[in-house]
Structure 1
Amino acid sequence: MKKHFLLLLFMLNCSVFVFAQTEIVAYDKTTAMIPMRDGVKLFTTIITPKNSNSAVPILMIRTPYSAERGDDFDILKWSYVANMAKEGYIFIIQDCRGKYKSEGKMEIHSPLTHAQKPGSVDESTDTYDSIDWLTKNVKNNNGKVGLLGISYPGWLALVGAVDPHPALKTSSEQACMSDLFLGDDFHHNGAFRLSYGMEYTYEIEHEKSGSTFPFPQYDLYDWYLKLGSLKNVNDKYFHNQIPTWNNFIKHPNYDEFWKKNSTLDYVSKAQVPMLHVGGYYDQEDLMGPQLMYSHMEKKDKANQNYICLGPWNHGQWSRDNAESLGKIEFGSNTAAWFQTLQKKWFDYYLKGIGDGKFDEANAFQTGSNQWKSYQSWPPKEATIQKLYASADNTCSFTKPTKIGSVSYTSDPAKPVPYRTQPIEMTYGEGSRWNSWHTEDQRFVYSRPDVISFRGDTLTEDLTVTGKIIAHLMASTTGTDADWVVKLIDEYPAFDSKNLQMSGFQLPVAMEVFRGRFHKSFTNPSPLIPNKPEEFTIDLHEINHTFKKGHRLIIQVQSTWFPVIDRNPQKFVTNIFEAKDSDFIKAQHKIYCSPNMATYVELPVMK
């Protein structure tokens, strides 16, 4: 009896203990139209705990994908935040300006303007005004707010933390887009992401509530091929009604439009603690979290900039389970691991729970299937080793000693598919869009327009951690060309424990580069026929162990359709206005010589 009395006395005199142990069993849901400084009102869903016995913080997600939640929505069952919901938070989900039930007009990824144009509104000021209203009008909040979100909501979490409201204590941008011409969503190194760019802009901008492009068939490889030149999109379907598509046409190069719309231009540093989150296999915004972390790290004197990278596709860490992607197994539920880290992050900055000690970088190591922590990212202890391509279609860490090259014909009329057919609509039912970054590359290995350089069987594990850079020495008989480079982990030819993985070719890192931008993304220039040029291609950051018994492969091709539009291979001023007759065959050559070497830089860990 005395023991129970002492326990009760301790609980009554320790609010933190009571708070941490109280389990929230239900939430109330209300809505509000929150006024912005220019009079526009934003539709907002407010989800508050029913049985919390103390003031709780606010977690806010802003979105263009509808903030309305039906009566059957239960925040306690949303795996993304369920572990935090059980201990008490106020959750806010808000339609950004011009979407669904919010007033105003939306333009995709509009840059921040409030600092340069006093009195103007943008996503930063809308976030500020919303937080100001919420902290004053939502009962039982503790005056602390955190932002989070994935993809476009991730970008909103990033820009919402610029010139923040005093109540905003932390933010986590997740799968945020960075520069829409150099990488993420619409372009990669100037190469246009056709299927995604067309389908996404139609979905977002055709109607306020979103809509799906009415494709007349299931397999879209042939549909996009028959579409022909990109000029046919407006001529036959969009009729100049999709603003972002019109911007693609008006701005085919990296001009002031793209530079001003880049987060690198209007976001400089972390003004509140920032947790960047990204996936190695993100099919939409792979570059964003890596680039934004690196960009903000340069000015991180207050030690507020952190990153977590995992073996995920776009937003996979928010789901119930992330033990695998496609046929690749990770050995544990990596989503649950991340959700524990996320809870620890927000609990500390918004509730004061924990010691506040976070590793600078947490990066899952594929291959070995382990979580690793680092005090810098990429880790400084990695040593660069060069993996060279040889004219006999092999690769090794030994530089070629003989002059040699490998050639192939690239035909825009017969482009290499980026995944096995059928190629379904990006967000269509049963679409494999979510897992194509882990697709077995044997489906293109034997094509004559795909060149592979295959290494010897590894006699010991090889761990590569950090940025992968490809140096491609190449020429073409045309005046323009695309170069797609892949670093592949080839599994042993026979795996008795997992037969379906025998000989599997896993693309560990891959990227495209549009040749016309080899000197400048702002001022493209034609390639000189048959002149060797060096193309340096950032394949982004990985953390991967190539296991003993596996092989490394460098693979090169020049089409990746229809995720990347077809390069005419004849230099034209604007590919969006190219004629069908501009598309020509070309002979491409990859050089593998002592003074003209093709190689991939690998940051190898000891």
Structure 2
Amino acid sequence: MRPTLLAGLALSVVLAAPLAAQNAATLDPMTNDKVASYDWVRPEADYVRREVMIPMRDGKKLFTVIVFRKGTTDGPMLLSRSPYNATGHTSRNRSQKIEEVLAVMDAPFVNDGYIRVYQDVRGLAKSEGDYVMTRPLRGPLNKTKVDHATDAYDTIDWLVKNVKESNGKVGIIGSSYLGFTSLMALIDPHPALKAAVPQSPMVDGWIGDDWFHNGAFRTFGFDYDLGQTVEKGGGEVPKGTGDEYTAYLGGGSAGEFAKRWGIDQLPSVRKPLEHPAYDSFWQGQAVDKLLAARKLTVPTLVMLGQWDQEDSYGAPAVFKAVKAAQPDAPITLGIGPWRHSGANYEGSSLGPLKFEGDTALQFRLNWIKPFLDCRVKSNPQPCQPMPAAVTYATGTNRWETDAKWPAGSEMPLYLAGNGGLSWAKPAAGSDDYVSDPAKPVPFLPRPVNMGGDAWRTWLVQDQRFVDGRPDVLSYTSDVLTKPVHIKGAPRVDLRAATTGQDSDWVVKLIDVYPEENSANATMAGYELGIGIEIFRGRYVHGFSTPAPLEPGKTYSFGWSLPNVNHVFLPGHKIMVQVQSSLFPLYDRNPQTWVPSIMWAKPGDYKKATQTVRWGGSEASAVYLPVVAN
């Protein structure tokens, strides 16, 4: 045969061999297409990602994801216990780069040898067991042998014994619900837990965190409950895409609204509906009280945003309670110019406010990481003494430290005649307005959307949208000639009466910017809320003992605004607004007496004339925690 023909035959044999092998491997068309798993972490990934089921003392196992950069040895572990899916926390973009697969706040840690651990809390996502929203500590409300304290202990115990790349030291961190689980880990803590950074923690759901504020119910909790606890068909309550103000107004009371949408039998909805007052159900879950009853042994940096729209109460309450019970407790309070959980995101602005650089990154690098490094790393530099508080002075845009908190001394700013404010107590007088539950004051300009950026930034919303309403009283100071610097929680003493038998009272402390502001036209005349808080009148004699108000009688309604570090600058004015609704964020007060506002009927909602007293022996004031200039 000719050489070219022989070569062609040989080539055909070579080509046919793989084709035959391929044909031999062809699947039957009816082969089951489902496979057990797929590992999306490829060999070229610069990290190791492990999924494990960690056993708890009652036999249940909790799904846990462990992530660290390849080559890590002797690494400290940073734990977060989450209801928001550990897989999601550790699978961002399914990237092969560790800085991309984890959240931005994790990068400084994993790039410095930390081992990052996320865990699904009991009963959610891939973890076993029953889910109980903010599961109470073992005791009167929880007759089982397990809670978030025991689950954290058992998790840490397993990690230090089974993660061979670790140094056996653990820090715990997390925001919101994860802040709550971080605090719970401090109750009877594992010896390997060396530091905690609870951020915007859920601490007391009735006094001032997610479900109520001073007795007024927060309706947005319905959406959270539905999305958090329903396996199929959850998400948000189907209110449509229009104005939520209209949707909640048409829904009636909170209980009737829940009933209308078929969520009134969800356990997480029923519990607040059945416990509208500050009874043992809420008191027994208050984490600040639980921690104050024990000696704090784990150094803790508890923090929040100054404009935290969800959990403004918890972090300062824990700091205050622990320090009162244990003055030398190793605890520091951090407050930044952020929204809820804002410390974990980009922090150079909030709504129209602009700050000096990325304040969230500054705090993570300058405070959180050094605080953890010296406590959980092997052979670290000695820990530097921590101040009582690290806070950002809004208005002048700078970080400050203080040896005590609150750092200011109370100075009354009195409501006065002609819509004024005075540092001196004025002569007696009063102002009236009519509060109509059929036309409640909105907390955002309509149409109201309690989601997205509108929700995240509502506390810095320009309050001119309600200034001038007939059911909103505005009291304004003269133009400031020198700065007024406050550090702490402004305290409200509102002397007021109603023609009804119940009433809500809302007080806003506002920084009024100059009308001319060519340097930043957006802020010209802006009425910036520095502190906004509500109080439900029926609790004036005690949060656990609601009672009707006597029509026409003047009461002293007292509560605190959120903790702040703020400077009212020269050229600005200070304003205080008073109103009786903040809707639909808070449910409406019918202003008549009903045993439970949760189940008020349409006929219970009545107009009432509200009288705010000022001056003389019944002087209304906001006590500002002023520091010397």
TM-score of the superposed pair, with normalisation by structure 1: 0.92
How far apart, in 1, do the equivalents of 2:145 and 2:569 lie?
55
Q: 1:32 to 1:323 in 2, by over 3 A?
A: same
CA distance in 1, matches of 2:622, 2:186: 37
- Asked whether the equivalents of residues 136 and 142 of structure 2 are also in contact (C-alpha less than 8 Å), the reply is no
Tell whether the 8 Å contact from 1:203 to 1:211 is kept in structure 2 after alignment: yes
1:114 and 1:121 in contact (8 A); partners too: no
CA distance in 2, matches of 1:247, 1:230: 13
Quote the residue 1:215 is aligned against.
239
Q: How does 1:168-317 map to 2 (within 5 A)?
A: 168-194=193-219, 196-207=220-231, 211-268=235-292, 269-300=295-326, 303-317=329-343
Alpha carbons of structure 1 residues 485 and 121: separation in structure 2 relative to 1, 3 Å: same
After TM superposition, the structure 1 stretch with the greater mean CA deviation from structure 2, 98-107 or 112-121, is: 112-121
Cα deviation, residue 117, structure 1: 8.1
How far apart, CA to CA, are the structure 1 residues paired with 2:77 and 2:242? 43
Residue 65 of structure 2 corresponds to which residue in structure 1?
Answer: 45
Change (3 A) 1:254 1:55: same
Counterpart position of 2:454: 432
SS of residue matched to 2:235: coil
Secondary structure at the aligned position of 2:544 is classed as coil
Pairs within 5 Å for 1:444-463: 444-463=466-485
Give the conservation status (yes or no) of the 8 Å contact 2:297–2:329. Answer: no
SS of residue paired to 1:349: helix
Task: Report the counterpart of residue 536 of structure 2 in structure 1.
Answer: 514
The DSSP-based 3-state class of the residue aligned with 2:145 is coil
Contact 1:469/1:540 (CA < 8 Å) preserved in 2? no
In structure 2, the residue matched to 1:64 is: 83
- Residue 354 of structure 1 pairs with residue 381 of structure 2: yes
Q: Find the aligned partners of 2:548 and 2:144 in 1 and give their Cα distance.
A: 44
Deviation at 1:218, TM superposition (A): 3.4
Shift of 1:237: 1.5
Which range moved further: 416-425 or 559-568? 416-425
Q: What CA distance in whole angstroms lies between the structure 2 residues aligned with 1:301 and 1:235?
A: 47
Corresponding residue for residue 423 of structure 1: 448
Instruction: Tell me the residue number matched to 2:546.
Output: 524
Q: Distance in 1 between matches of 2:254 and 2:533?
A: 22
Matched to 1:367, the amino acid is G
Equivalent-residue separation in structure 2 for 1:451 and 1:374 (angstroms): 35
Measured after TM superposition, the shift of residue 217 of structure 1 is: 2.1
One of 384, 392, 397 as aligned partner of 1:369: 397
Q: Which residue of 1 aligns with 2:556?
A: 534
1:38-70 per-residue CA deviation (whole Å, 9 max, x = no partner) reads: 111111111122022x31111000000000033
CA–CA distance in structure 1, aligned partners of residues 308 and 166 of structure 2:
35
Q: Does 1:29 align with 2:30?
A: no
Q: Conserved in 2, the CA contact under 8 Å of 1:482 and 1:512?
A: yes
- SS in structure 1 opposite 2:371? helix
Q: 1:116 to 1:182 in 2, by over 3 A?
A: closer
Distance of 1:466 and 1:235 partners within structure 2: 41
1:515 Cα offset (Å): 0.2
Q: Do 1:490 and 1:503's aligned partners in 2 also have CA atoms closer than 8 Å?
A: yes
SS at the partner of 2:581? coil
1:351-393 C-alpha deviation (Å, 9 max, x unpaired): 14333112221010010111000111112xx332111111211
- Picking from 551, 563, 570, the partner of 1:548 is 570
1:604 alignment partner, SS class: strand
Aligned-pair CA distance for 1:216: 1.8
Query: Does the 8 A contact of 1:62 with 1:96 survive in 2?
Result: yes
Tell me how far apart the structure 2 counterparts of residues 74 and 412 of structure 1 sit (CA, whole Å): 54
Distance in 2, Cα, partners of 1:526 & 1:74 = 61
SS at match of 1:496: coil
Equivalent residue for 1:407, pick from 408, 411, 432: 432
Could you tell me how far apart the structure 2 residues matched to 1:208 and 1:484 are?
A: 38
Q: Flag the 1:523–1:228 CA change in 2: closer, same or farther, 3 A.
A: same
* Counterpart mapping for 1:388-403 below 5 A: 388-401=414-427, 403=428
Q: After the TM superposition, list the runs of 4 or more consecutive aligned residues in structure 1 that deviate by more than 4 angstroms.
A: 114-119
Q: Deviations over 1:499-546 (max 9, x none)?
A: 121100001111100000000111111111111111112113211100
- Answer yes or no: is 1:76 the counterpart of 2:99: yes
Find 2:523's aligned residue among 482, 501, 508: 501
Aligned: 1:135 with 2:157: no
Question: Equivalent pairs: percent with the same residue?
Answer: 39
Separation (CA, whole Å) in 2 of partners of 1:327 and 1:392: 30
Distance 1:347 1:208, change over 3 A: farther
**CA deviation after TM superposition for structure 1 residue 238, in Å:** 2.8
Give the aligned residue type for 1:596: E
Residue of structure 1 equivalent to 2:15: none
Whole-Å separation in 1 of the counterparts to 2:425 and 2:327 = 41
Q: What SS is found at the alignment partner of 1:347?
A: helix
Deviation at 1:208, TM superposition (A): 7.4
Shift of residue 211 of structure 1?
2.6
